[in-house]
Amino acid sequence: MTTGQGSMTTAPAPRRSPEAEPAVPRELEQPPAHFTNRTDQLAALDALLDAPRDRPVVQVICGLGGIGKSALARQWVHRVRARFPRGQLYADLGAFNATGPTDTGELLKRFLVAFGIDGKKQPAGLDELKALYRSETAGRPLLVVLDDAVSSEQVAPLIPTAPGSIVVVTSRFRLGGLRASHGARRLDLTKFEHGHGVQLLSAIVDDERTGEPSVHLTDMVKFCDGLPIALHVLGVKLANQPHLSAARAAAQLERLRLAALADHKENLSVTSTFDLSYQDLSPDAARLYRALGLHPGPEFGLGAATGAAERSMDDTEVLLGELVQSGLLDVRQDRFSFHDLVRIHAEEKAAEAGEADAAQRRILEWYLRAARRTEDTLTVPDQDRIPYEFGDRGPDPESLPGNDDALPWLERERPNLIAAIQTAARQELPELAWQLAAAMWPLFLLRKHYRDFLTISQLGVTCAEQWGNVSAKALMLNRAGAACRGAGRFDEAVEYYTAAKEALADGGDQAIAVRSMEGLGLVALARDRVDDALAHFEENLTYARRLERAHDVNLALVNLGVTLVKAGRATEAVDRLEQAKSLLDAQGDEYNRARAQIDLGRALACDERFDEARAQVEAALATMESAGSAFEQARAIHALGDVAKLAGDIAEAKSRYEAALPIYTELNRPEAKPLAEELRSLA
């Protein structure tokens, strides 16, 4: 009938004879033979049975192709089928059929046939079919499985009308439209834990190759990374080839990668599973997918993806959304990641397209630009930057970290930066690897991470040698020395600093030698060899003045002031440190000005100028808290304890020392041991 506000289709009369009983379809497929784990997911599905019964309940199970969506659906509906005596329907919606997804009208016709309505008696129009389906399902709660759906639009007409019905939909896509239109729940399926992978593979193979734990079994399951389709294909392959040992199978996976996860006689292939989703991507999303397969670390943010895409951040966000929607890319909050096998697939596609080298370099250079941005924000350069010629025009500037996020960005991206350096070194890009290592300096200066600091500095030395740059080598030798010194490995530190000076003997940037002299002085000071420290710092100061390195002159004055305090020459120390503080302030170097203030506070306290001492150290502590330097915060707190002790306030000193000690300990600093001894003496 029609109204003034549009047309409305009414359900036609049922197309079966009045005396015929409605057919009761029992279409559910059998549960999988070797269903494994998914205990939590089955419990979540069981909760559907307790959902309000005032409308049909729709549950979407989504995830990567081959993650086990259909297996979970088949297992669960088999368990609860007896609760739906009025009918159980199943349909393969064919999201990736060669001829395209199954037509909704054809699916409606097939369901109506299952209800006993002959196809010849069904209406021809889609709207009439939908209306008849609603009418037929209005009074009978059904259990419906809609497998491999492509869209919410495809699914919606197949949802029965009767309250109490449950519809389980599986899809590689997230089908957010069903949430909006039908209140659908979503269950994101993830990979197996290692033990469950072993369980599934062992159940399929069932012989000595998987019967007992072995290195080869572990390697095979680890390669499959908890993906059920991969474990299934590997299990079938082993079952079909009893002569293939576990050792040989593991070696094939290592050598052939995805090509080894196939059994062509059984028409099984993990690559083909991924290809279905990949081929459905838009060209731009497919290009980004290929590029991100070359990302060096396990996860990444929007910024790195923008660098890989060579697009704006807004455009890149849309493309990432397409990859997430396809199930090929996982996302947690604002971090993206691939399943290990999907990453291999993307990498192989990049190689096939001849894009691998260029894509990888774009990503690595994006990390260099981003790290350099933080360097410009967080530190005053103590060396002239060694130039680098970038290979592209540069990413969207908005993709790079901002001033407020500089240090958190470095901390968050530390694994990716280390992986980028290692990747560049492996790809025989020593200059780029070195530049990445050099750009991590603010993180190591402020957050220490001595193990990583030393590893990266040592790799930087190797890359500089391959590059043939003497200055770059000396700089990294100095940084290796700084890492060893910070960790209390003083003999090694001296070796690195000395090697840096020797490397510069025949050329290179002589300003780098200033750091070597400074480092040797700092080691001597840490060992309480005050006279040696004074000699190194005087040499350092003289050399810096000769080279007209104003910043290095100021740092030498700070170190001389610290050493003079230890030598019992507080008045001279105050003079040096006040001079350094004033000059560093004029240069805008807040970090090193605060360092000078910490030691100026100690010198003033030794001169019994306690109020001035506290004011200097408290100001420095505030600066270091703002900078995010845990070590320098500990130094400031420690200094406040020293001021209190010299002023005769032992309780305050003890309180300050107790606050500083855990920070030194967490950072594995050599200051921890003598401070602990000082606390014991006060107790």
pLDDT 10s digits, 607-659: 999 999 999 999 999 999 998 899 999 999 999 999 999 999 999 999 999 99
Per residue in 546-563, pLDDT (tens digit) is: 999 999 999 999 999 999
Q: How confident is the model at residue 383 (pLDDT cuts 50, 70, 90)?
A: confident
CA–CA dist 75, 30 (Å, integer): 8
The single-letter DSSP state of residue 385 is: P
Burial 368-397, CB ≥16 within 10 A → b, else e: bbbbbbbbebbbeebbeebebeeeeeebbe
Per residue in 73-111, pLDDT (tens digit) is: 999 999 999 999 999 999 999 999 888 899 999 999 999
Tell whether the model's pLDDT for residue 381 goes beyond 80. Answer: no
Burial 470-497, CB ≥16 within 10 A → b, else e: bbbbbbbbbbbbbbbbbbbbbebbbebb
Tell whether the model's pLDDT for residue 19 goes beyond 90. Answer: no
The single-letter DSSP state of residue 403 is: G
Q: List all residues 6 or more positions away from 203 whose beta carbon is below 8 Å from its beta carbon.
A: 34, 36, 235
CB atoms under 10 Å from CB of 16, counted, come to 17
Q: How confident is the model at residue 6 (pLDDT cuts 50, 70, 90)?
A: very low
CA–CA dist 583, 551 (Å, integer): 8
Q: Parallel, antiparallel, or unpaired: how do β-strands 335-337 and 330-332 relate? A: antiparallel
Output the pLDDT for position 8.
Answer: 43
Tell whether the model's pLDDT for residue 5 goes beyond 70. Answer: no
176-203 mean pLDDT = 95
Output the pLDDT for position 17.
Answer: 54
410-430 mean pLDDT = 97
Output the pLDDT for position 11.
Answer: 47
Q: Which contiguous run of DSSP H or E holds residue 39?
A: helix 39-46
> Residue 633 has which token pair?
């915060």
Tell whether the model's pLDDT for residue 428 goes beyond 60. Answer: yes
pLDDT-above-70 percentage for the chain: 97
Can you give the C-alpha Rg of the chain in angstroms? 34
560-573 mean pLDDT = 94
CB atoms under 10 Å from CB of 263, counted, come to 18
- 217 close to 198: Cβ distance less than 8 angstroms: yes
Output the pLDDT for position 147.
Answer: 97
- 111 close to 158: Cβ distance less than 8 angstroms: yes
Tell whether the model's pLDDT for residue 10 goes beyond 70. Answer: no
What mean pLDDT, rounded, does the chain reach?
Answer: 93
Per residue in 119-168, pLDDT (tens digit) is: 888 898 999 999 999 999 998 999 999 999 999 999 999 999 999 999 99
Amino acid at 264: H
Q: Which contiguous run of DSSP H or E holds residue 186?
A: strand 185-188
Output the pLDDT for position 418.
Answer: 98
Distance (Å) of CA 467 to CA 429, 432, 543: 8, 10, 28
Output the pLDDT for position 182.
Answer: 94
CA–CA dist 248, 356 (Å, integer): 29
Q: How confident is the model at residue 278 (pLDDT cuts 50, 70, 90)?
A: very high
Output the pLDDT for position 23.
Answer: 84
Q: List all residues 6 or more positions away from 126 whose beta carbon is below 8 Å from its beta carbon.
A: 104, 105, 108
The single-letter DSSP state of residue 395 is: -
> Residue 254 has which token pair?
């290592």
Output the pLDDT for position 547.
Answer: 93
Full 3-state SS string of 446-479: HHCCHHHHHHHHHHHHHHHHHHCCHHHHHHHHHH
Tell whether the model's pLDDT for residue 21 goes beyond 80. Answer: no
Tell whether the model's pLDDT for residue 301 goes beyond 70. Answer: yes
Per residue in 356-369, pLDDT (tens digit) is: 999 999 999 999 99
Question: What pTM value is reported for the model?
Answer: 0.87
CA–CA dist 276, 95 (Å, integer): 9
Tell whether the model's pLDDT for residue 199 goes beyond 50. Answer: yes
Output the pLDDT for position 357.
Answer: 96
Output the pLDDT for position 1.
Answer: 35
Tell whether the model's pLDDT for residue 4 goes beyond 60. Answer: no
Output the pLDDT for position 16.
Answer: 54
Tell whether the model's pLDDT for residue 437 goes beyond 50. Answer: yes
Question: Taking Cα atoms as reference points, which of 476, 442, 305 lies closest to residue 374?
Answer: 442
Tell whether the model's pLDDT for residue 7 goes beyond 60. Answer: no
